[in-house]
Amino acid sequence: MKKLNTKFPEDFLWGGATADFQYEGGFNEGGRGILSHDYETAGSNETPRHHTLRNKDGKLITPNSSFILAEDVSNDVEPVFLENEYYPSHQAVDFYHRYKEDIKLMAGVGFNIFRFSVCWSRIFPTGEETEPNEEGLQFYDDVISEMAKYNMEPLITICHDELPMNLVLKYNGWTSRKVIDAYVKYAEVLFKRYGKRCRYWLTFNEINAVRGFGPTGVRKASGKDRYQAAHNMFVASAKAVKLAHRISSDSQVGAMYAMSEQYPATCKPEDIFHHMQARRENWYFVDIMGRGYYPSYAQNLWQRHGFDRLDITLEDTQILKEGQLDYIAFSYYRSNITKAGDAWRNVGGDTNPYLEVTPWGWPIDPLGLRYCMNEIYDRIQKPVFIVENGMGAVDEPDENGYVADDYRIDFLKKHLTAMADAINIDKVPCLGYTMWGPIDLVSLSTGEMKKRYGFVYVDMDDRGKGSLDRTPKKSYTWMKNVIATNGEVLID
Ligand code: BG6
């Protein structure tokens, strides 16, 4: 059998990735303000998560986790915490109090980088203060110092699908340009405080998901509002890139895209053409931020969404040009099928008969990762960085809390091999790989705990009950060997 070269570049960055509201907890500690996710309940694959809000008549309304899709959410809503509801972001898995233990575990597996997101409302509780919350800043300083003990560098996500709740309610999230100013003020504080100890930054997580999920914090929006919100985020990101470069000249700033691969369902020309257009729904975001200008197909795309123009000033155009990303980061979990007549969607579509699926029905497609890396580099010609990948699975610990997760090892092995092929055979420059949720954390889409990605088991159930003790799984030892040999153990 031919052996592939799975050795990675000497300076390859190996790590894990987390998001504050899924991992950190400590929601009412350290002066942290309320975040858009704090009113989001737990759910499951069958029962969507929802927010708990009251309208001005005192009536409870529970829009699903996509604020943006909630037709009945008017300007007069008030968020409420209900006693019989469980809100996963409040405790998450308690990194806030356990960061030393978690960082030690990550160091034990050999990480030289750790991607985490700063909680915006920990730094600016309402987003509108003139001075940042020192206690919040100190928390991340302590985290970075702890990492430094193990020579682990940070990759900081400035905004992971969230907003201080005040900015959601007062300005209808990113539809308002006021939020650009609030973001830039916040980003500047982070660059000044951590810039000497942090080279790699991400301005936004999965920014291309703004149409489907709730990262824009938009309560009610037409198609045009959503794209205007995205434009405002592009401008905010470009301003942040410029600032980061000015404050620390060696900083590298990217943004992160949900780059699930899309395949045409058949070779019928109509399906292929539809696939090209569906793919452009994602490329739109990468092209604008990676190349610094709106692509020629933008207007046609807007028209498909029911509008002709956006509010884009000449100054915005200049900022986008000057604030291009240094690298393109993306999450890769699965591939999808699309065909003529399908509504646009980021994930989903018909079943792919050639692929197996995870327990949550996500198709397992390692080659799709290699495909994506090539596509992005061909198009943008900037290094790529895989900042999320992994398999959500149900783990069954034995009586000692040990999980023999061979299925996860198999998943990771195939994806890392595909990544090595893209690097070594296709010559795609790739900065690193940060696996999603190295220590088990709360699922974004379902709010469940039982959908686990990590190689460290956290003893906690879907309602937040358990000791929260951490126990390395079988994949921990496997991953340790992979990193220690810089990929050589992947060779069959
Ligand atoms: C990405 C997000 O969409 O996928 C993460 O950036 C998320 O926040 C991850 O957790 C996996 O999705 P899920 O729904 O399985 O947690």
Q: Judge whether 388 counts as a catalytic residue.
A: yes
How does residue 44 score in pLDDT terms, banded at 50, 70 and 90?
confident
Cα distance between residue 239 and residue 8, in whole Å? 33
202: left (phi over 0), alpha (psi -120 to 50) or beta: beta
Q: Is the CB of 392 under 6 A from ligand 1?
A: yes
Residue 370 has pLDDT above 90, yes or no: yes
* 68 within some domain: no
* 277 within some domain: yes
- 480 burial via Cβ count (<10 Å: 0-12, 13-18, 19+): middle
Nearest-CA residue for atom 10 of ligand 1: 444
For the CA of 360, the closest atom of ligand 1 is: 15
Please provide the distance, in angstroms rounded to a whole number, between the alpha carbons at the two ends of the chain: 9
* 43 within some domain: no
How does residue 106 score in pLDDT terms, banded at 50, 70 and 90?
very high
* Per annotation, catalytic residue among 40, 206, 281, 375: 206
Cα–ligand 1 centroid distance for 444 (angstroms): 5
CATH label of the domain that carries residue 344? 3.20.20.80
* Per annotation, catalytic residue among 40, 162, 388, 448: 388
Cα–ligand 1 centroid distance for 445 (angstroms): 6
Nearest-CA residue for atom 9 of ligand 1: 444
Report DSSP letters for 392-422, one per residue. Answer: -B-----TTS----HHHHHHHHHHHHHHHHH
**In this structure, are residues 212 and 161 in contact, taking their beta carbons and an 8 Å threshold?**
no
Q: Is the CB of 472 under 6 A from ligand 1?
A: no
pLDDT for the residue numbered 70: 46
Q: Is the CB of 445 under 6 A from ligand 1?
A: yes
pLDDT for the residue numbered 59: 83
* 381 within some domain: yes
pLDDT for the residue numbered 221: 63
pLDDT for the residue numbered 78: 82
* CA neighbor of 245 nearest in space, from 322, 193, 318: 322
Per-residue pLDDT tens over the stretch 193-249: 999 999 999 999 999 886 544 455 565 566 888 899 999 999 999 999 999 999 999
Q: Which residue has the tokens 């002066």?
A: 31
Mean pLDDT of 74-101: 91
Residue 308 has pLDDT above 90, yes or no: yes
**In this structure, are residues 162 and 92 in contact, taking their beta carbons and an 8 Å threshold?**
no
Q: pTM for this structure?
A: 0.96
* 61 within some domain: no
* 50 within some domain: no
* CA neighbor of 280 nearest in space, from 409, 398, 379, 135: 379
SS3 374: helix
Cα–ligand 1 centroid distance for 212 (angstroms): 13
Q: Is the CB of 258 under 6 A from ligand 1?
A: yes
Main-chain dihedrals φ then ψ at residue 57, nearest 5 degrees: -90, 5
Q: Which residue has the tokens 């990762």?
A: 369
pLDDT for the residue numbered 69: 43
User: Residue 244: which domain range?
Assistant: 13-36+87-491
Nearest-CA residue for atom 16 of ligand 1: 443
Q: Which amino acid is at 464?
A: G
SS3 179: helix
* CA neighbor of 365 nearest in space, from 408, 329, 328, 418: 418
* CA neighbor of 359 nearest in space, from 391, 402, 334: 391
pLDDT mean across residues, the chain = 92
Q: Lowest-confidence range among 35-39, 150-154, 463-467?
A: 35-39
Count of domains observed in the chain: 1
Cα–ligand 1 centroid distance for 246 (angstroms): 32
* 2 within some domain: no
* 47 within some domain: no
Of 89, 333, 388, 408, which is best to mutate to test ligand 1, by the most ligand atoms within 8 angstroms of its C-beta? 388
How does residue 349 score in pLDDT terms, banded at 50, 70 and 90?
confident
Mean pLDDT of 463-478: 97
Nearest-CA residue for atom 14 of ligand 1: 445
